[in-house]
Structure 1
């Protein structure tokens, strides 16, 4: 983590390769880095993709054991036109499976009972999830006065002001746990949900904003538009509109990252952490590899597609280190994913939905659970079901760190009480993520500003990933596509 001298004091290592014209180093082979490298390669750019671990895909990994399929990280994602075009290019459309349309219920636990979350206005009026007082409070939302300024505000503060504490506790809080594994009291409404934040800012209330936009969220920000405007007509981002679908693949999410990896043969360097990054005149020196075997390469541009905290382990020029210190401070609470398999007869609940989310007020060990075998086919053998539970996050980080036996014991208590599980699981797969999901906390603008400054003051350096432009798989894929287009434009301008 040593800060180096300014660039004019640094001499490139003697083994530095002069590199090739239009060459780019992509650092990090998670989904963002894979997509960025793939898109750059399509444009004829000479790409080298560095990955510190022994595998690609980051959190996207899939295990197959005794007929059970367990995802280590994301279980699905929502498509878009650019994503559909990418899947077609990778010849993956035949491997896609859409989420079971009959499993469209989202359950919320209240007072130890699963309640179906209302997805329509009539359902909102008839649901038992919310009291009459809470329903009236939602109906009165248009009368709530708009804030006098656009200052940053926590999600909890925003929702309490506009819709009341009960909606916060039994609607927003559990969904935030499902998306960010985060805390509504510390997460920023402006940065975690910018388009919802803009409904109040632009229209005075959420209801008025939804009516004005006919239920659609406001358009992308000026920054998003500027990025999109860079796309040329050959780019996947110019693909025709398509229906958004919640999908995975027949053999799980790793199908996607494996296909991207296969398309990048010859460009990928596994087990090769980047240790040194320095701008040398108009180009960049990237030194990577294990101790004693590191090699340097000079490239025209660098895409950092790693988690924010990875910057802390790299040697950077002093000026860049100062900005990077702000980005490195992004919090990633730990999360454990625990997939359990049961005989179908040992689970009383129908599991007729997407899954269940558990509000903080319920004081349970798990944040929520996906009914994996209901959502996609072939996730469990015949006569069995699988349930993927998530533990820890900002709510209970210490629980995420527990060993497998203790975690299974705690989780089973919740599953027995909430889903009527009997007996013991016949399958268990536990994956611990010590740093899981970046937290867009109040004041996150400082992180975004630092990232913007790193790019503007260091031409040819680009930062991408889930700490910057959204935490979902779809967000990360879009980030990779957009960064690739920006880099391609930079290389064109640079000649």
Structure 2
């Protein structure tokens, strides 16, 4: 029986362990898995905290249903009926600009009416049709791409807030090719974004005319989906479904190559032997584990930076907030000079996130453009968020409920050169058969990305199992 050790019990580690077990069973292959997690719980950055009737997400608050991988995992786990789609009003998303919340336009007419982008900015956006197509395989920053194709105003008010909302990143350093590979491909395939949108819209119309079912756009790429008890239900149920062992409080400090596989040295002085090792640990942690195994590999992993983040949950009596909370929330361009990156109206997105008569707001502070925020005291964090909420939403009262969660290394940053680093990493892994990497450090930071990467990692493990 082949022993497979998985490092890390976040969604990536748990889902890759589950995929390996399921695929091995389908092929009649004997495998024994052990998941090693340094924390005393499973889930990684997925944690749903219920206190005083509020449900606060410590990390991600859901996944988009526009891609099949996480939904398929839910089907296999038998928890599809537990899924909770976000409220239809969550499609309403806002950008704070010029002391006003502007709803993000969803179509051409609403874009023309919107005051978010000035008329010169709108004309520049329309001029994207005339911008020459990029050639070659250049690794362009998101900022350079935005300025080149859409103009400086669109970069500041649309692209940069989106980048901070997804990656907590700085568009001046982030790689278009690695962060948004689909957009990179669309320019090369269609010659531009507006041309791509027009041709894809035509294709959808033709499919509808032919009687095919075409998904409608509901927010950016699908409907945000979670569970009644929070997104932690996904990791809890995945961990419970594993046939193998899950060991918490078992931090791996080193991966040692042996003739018949690997030895994983643990922080408590113990060790685990395995023929195959799959790491789902963050790049910064994995770098230390492989330092003696391959110094070059460790150096590549250390070159993947992480952005810090404070997640700030405020609960209020609904009657104390004058403005409507009919929507998802808002993002803030950096030029507005606010302390926070944006605020989600969590109790408007999903039901049961706040007690009756109360609301839950979740603000993000920090990121690559404001890394020093992680060092602020709790009182300073609370004070700065209150100042921003007063100016943006008119909230003049103190919150009745406050929880502040700190992530010193929250989200990996796919900076320029990321694709080149991954290619170099793959070359080194090819020289170390039986060692496989997955997780959000490499090919996507969302839950769908993590599950998809885990499925691909499991596909790399199966040929190794067949040879045993």
**Alignment TM-score, normalising by the size of structure 2:** 0.91
Determine the structure 1 residue equivalent to 2:435: 461
Q: What CA deviation, in whole Å up to 9, does each residue of 1:242-284 have, x standing for no partner?
A: 9954211111111111111212365111111122322323x32
Tell me which residue corresponds to 1:58: 44
Contact 2:92 2:326 in 1 (8 A): yes
* Rounded Cα–Cα distance in structure 2 between residues aligned with 1:376 and 1:68: 12
CA contact (8 A) 2:33 2:244 kept: no
Q: Does 1:207 align with 2:194?
A: yes
Q: Paired residue for 2:168, among 177, 181, 200? A: 181
CA deviation after TM superposition for structure 1 residue 75, in Å:
0.8
Which of 226, 244, 247 is the aligned partner of 1:269?
247
Alignment of 1:287 onto 2:264: yes
Distance apart, 1:162 and its partner CA: 0.6
SS in 1 for 2:429: helix
Equivalent residues of 1:326, 1:446 under 8 A apart: no
In structure 2, the partner of 1:373 is 347
Alignment of 1:425-436 (within 5 A): 425-436=399-410
Instruction: Find the counterpart in structure 2 of residue 78 from structure 1.
Output: 64
Q: Offset of 1:38 from its aligned partner?
A: 1.0
CA distance, structure 2, for counterparts of residue 448 and residue 152 of structure 1: 13
Q: Is 1:27 the equivalent of 2:7?
A: yes
Please state if 1:301 is matched with 2:276: yes
Q: Map residues 135-150 of structure 1 onto 2, 5 A cutoff.
A: 135-150=122-137
Aligned counterpart, 1:36: 16
Name the stretch that deviates more: 142-151 or 192-201. Answer: 142-151
Deviates more, 1:483-492 or 1:111-120: 483-492
Quote the residue 1:110 is aligned against: 97
Counterpart Cα distance in 2 of 1:309 and 1:62: 25
Structure 1 match to 2:85: 98
**1:476 counterpart residue number:** 450
CA offset digits 1:264-317 (Å, max 9, x no partner)? 365111111122322323x3222243333x1231x2211111100112332554
Maintained 8 Å contact 1:271/1:289: no
Q: 1:58, 1:135 → 2: CA distance? A: 42
What is the match of residue 28 of structure 2? Answer: none
- 3-state DSSP of counterpart to 2:360: strand
Whether the aligned pair in 1 keeps the contact of 2:34 and 2:245 (CA below 8 Å) is: yes
- Where does 1:30-429 land on structure 2 (aligned, <5 Å)? 30-42=10-22, 43-44=24-25, 45-79=31-65, 80-214=67-201, 244-264=222-242, 266-281=244-259, 283-292=260-269, 294-297=270-273, 299-314=274-289, 316-318=291-293, 320-429=294-403
Contact 1:78 1:245 in 2 (8 A): yes
CA shift at 1:422, angstroms? Answer: 2.6
Pair 250,216 (structure 1): closer, same or farther in 2 beyond 3 Å = farther
Distance in 2 (CA, whole Å) between partners of 1:171 and 1:61 is 30
Contact 2:97 2:336 survives alignment (8 Å): yes
1:35, distance to aligned residue in structure 2 (A): 0.1
How far off is 1:28 after superposition? 0.8
Q: Report the Cα distance in structure 1 between the residues aligned to 2:271 and 2:180, rounded to whole angstroms.
A: 42
Check conservation: 1:155, 1:186, Cα contact below 8 A: yes
Q: Is this contact kept in 2: 1:336–1:401, CA < 8 A?
A: no
Cα shift at 1:216: 8.8
Q: Is the 8 A contact 2:290 2:297 kept in 1?
A: no
Matched-pair contact (CA < 8 Å) for 1:338–1:388:
yes
CA contact (8 A) 1:278 1:316 kept: no
**Inter-partner Cα distance in structure 1 for 2:312 and 2:338:** 15
Question: Structure 2: 5+ residue runs without aligned partners?
Answer: 26-30, 205-213, 217-221
- Residue 441 of structure 1 corresponds to 415
Question: How far 1:121 moved relative to its partner?
Answer: 1.3
Distance across 1 between alignment mates of 2:171 and 2:203:
24
CA distance in structure 1 between the partners assigned to 2:6 and 2:71 by the alignment? 23
Report the Cα offset of residue 461 of structure 1: 1.1
- 1:205 and 1:312 map into 2 onto residues whose CA distance is 39
Question: What SS class does the counterpart of residue 339 from structure 2 fall into?
Answer: coil
